[in-house]
Structure 1
Amino acid sequence: MTTSTVMRTAASWSPLLAPEAISSDRGSAGAMEESTQSPRILIVDESRIARAALIKRVRERYGFREEVNGESAWQALVLDHSIQLVICPLTLPLLEGDGLLVRVRASKLARLRQMPVLVIAGDNPEANQRARELGASDLVSRSIDSGELLARIATLIDLAQMESELARQTTNPAQHPLTGLPTRQHIELQAASALAQSLRHGAPASILVMGFDRFDALRNEHGDELASKLQQKLASILAQKVRKEDSLGHYSDSELAVVSPGTPYPACEAFANRLREAFAVAHIAVHGQRLPLSVSVGVANTPVDRAASATSLLSLAGERLKTARQAGGNRVLACVDEAEPQAPVPRLGHAIDLIRAGNDAAVVPHVAHLCREILPFLELLEREWKLGLPLAGIRERMQDRERESEDTRQA
């Protein structure tokens, strides 16, 4: 059924569109005309008292329209393009159960499918979970205070607007001239989409921002051509490693970002460390000399990080990248409160790769820790082959180094 057909049909249903069924709309046609200039909220509840309580909390910031049942609310959504968010309870009269939510999410109109629906939660946890599964954007209690309610509404409207913009840009996003990857604007929209899904389904979402350490110094010393090739190499590696549902693009000209919906931060942190380790042992030579390369990564996650918006979550990952670099680089800083992240202790296999790559300096600070890991193997070797290994001296020196490290940390 086309929109025009719906409008003609709806116009013939006079009982559903009668003045008492539609809205107070601040009382006049003039108010309706004015409210089209700013977001309006559709408040649906069969209880007049419940509607009045919600209107009191939102009227200073938003226009509103009120309906008493699910069917009249649906007709209002179809006809009134100024509505940008719906507030309703779990069940409504004239639409069985949660039928309004089902009809909105199944609509052929993108404007309605993407409409934020804020559901007033009930006392039944199973019913609340069903509302989330059917596509409720968020659930709130009737006792929510005005400030919190307005903040939730603002977030949902902003996310919906960014998702709409993302849908328009997805077919042909702007590309960075060097790597061919999408630009920062596209990444911001993808972050908004991931955060919206997280809020709607209660799932995690993670963002990684990464780049080479001391990149400007590399560029100044070795030239723009090498710097560009390194950027392309990093982009190429990431493009092969990220999932289909992840989004890869530029955070800045020299830094890349990955938006990973549905991924908890430990998994993203592990991925970031594998990437960091790969570049730490990469053999890239300039004039016969190995180029020391390292990568740092900042990771942010919802719900672990209580970011108010997608933009703030993306910026948080960027700030963590900056902190990791300031602490010396070759680090991954994830969802923790460390002001200065500690240098990562390499796994034993990675430590051997670093030594083979000529990067002893990255291993030396962790010799005591690695020695404790390898000591059982040395003891086995001594028992089997009777080599006369100085195990007592190794243990003593290992303990000395551990004490020195502890004294340094406490100083």
Structure 2
Amino acid sequence: MSDEVKEALPKVLIVDDSRMVRASIVRHLRDRFQVREEVDGEAGWEALVIDPEIQLVITDIGMPRLDGYGLLERIRSSKLSRVHDLPVVVISGEEDRESREKAYKLGANDFITKGIGATELLARIESLSRLAQTSRELEQSRAALAAQSPVDPTTGLATGAYLNWHAEQEMALAKRRGGDGRGAKTEISTMVVEIDHYDQLVQWHGQHVAQLVTRKLSKILATKVRKEDTVAQLAPDQFAVLSPSTDLVGCCAFALRLQRAIENLVMTYRDERIRISVTAGVACSSVDDVQTVSQLIGLAVQRAEQGRAAGGNKVVADQGEVGREFVERVFRQAVSIDHALLQLKAGATDEVIERLPEVVATLLPLLELLESRIHCGLPLDVLGQHASTAAAETYDPRRTSI
């Protein structure tokens, strides 16, 4: 076989501490595949990181330094898509149902015994190799389509490229409005949401269950944001929400409602109840005084990481962790009609309802003037009574709407 033809063959990584086993597998595959050999999981992992040509992995289970299960876990938790999506075949010295089930749960594509016949081994490896090649081609097509479309065809959310483009447009608009001489200040807020303990979720329930959880969260986000908001998936466990014309408090209020809804969510898979929580990092263009989209999203990512490091299930803003008391305190301050209107646009209706007595009290002089001029029958007595008698009502923390 010429070197040119050999280099065109797909490359398989064989990881086994037995030289004889590696030699046996190589003998069966060398006419159809390029082969790379490593003696344990740690060496195999290093090979995967530095060698982008590897397209399939065959690994033993029992090995020094890092066993096959550990190698499989690293592969499936890798942030590199070329590594994360590699087909992995686990090979064992004997048929063991427990080992087989564990391997599949960790994300193995196939499980074979070392006594398998050459013909069957080759057929199964070739089948996985062809499937992987087709998946790569589809992914390349999807990436090409996504580069030209604002919507990711897989998630149904905005693409990362569109999120950045749209955010740049909104930032430019905010700067223009900020300097229009009318005192108006347009704000942009970003929320980055991460699924807590995602790696543990993969380890306990498998990659496929983790993907179902991710899909559920993406649907919740897509259906709960405003039309002018943009949602994009940044990583398997991470989403970004861009909210134009929304201040820090409004974004934090939405993050808290989302957090509470996820806490109350119970998913069932094969009669097993799965609960998750999320951590959100929030950044605002005016509060954080940032000029670029990358800075805004970067701050939100950092704050989400801070919340995750502190145990998760938190909302973190510029001053640290944010709770309901923060939102309530801000809304109890001197009322601003502009602020209330922004909250309505942001979907924070509950927060505005809590301040209706103060809103009415603020607007009452204007309403009285309107009534004196146009006599339209405004119920001033009722409004005045509402403003005076309902002002003592307090926030109800039991509200769980999102």
TM-score computed with the length of structure 2 as normaliser: 0.41
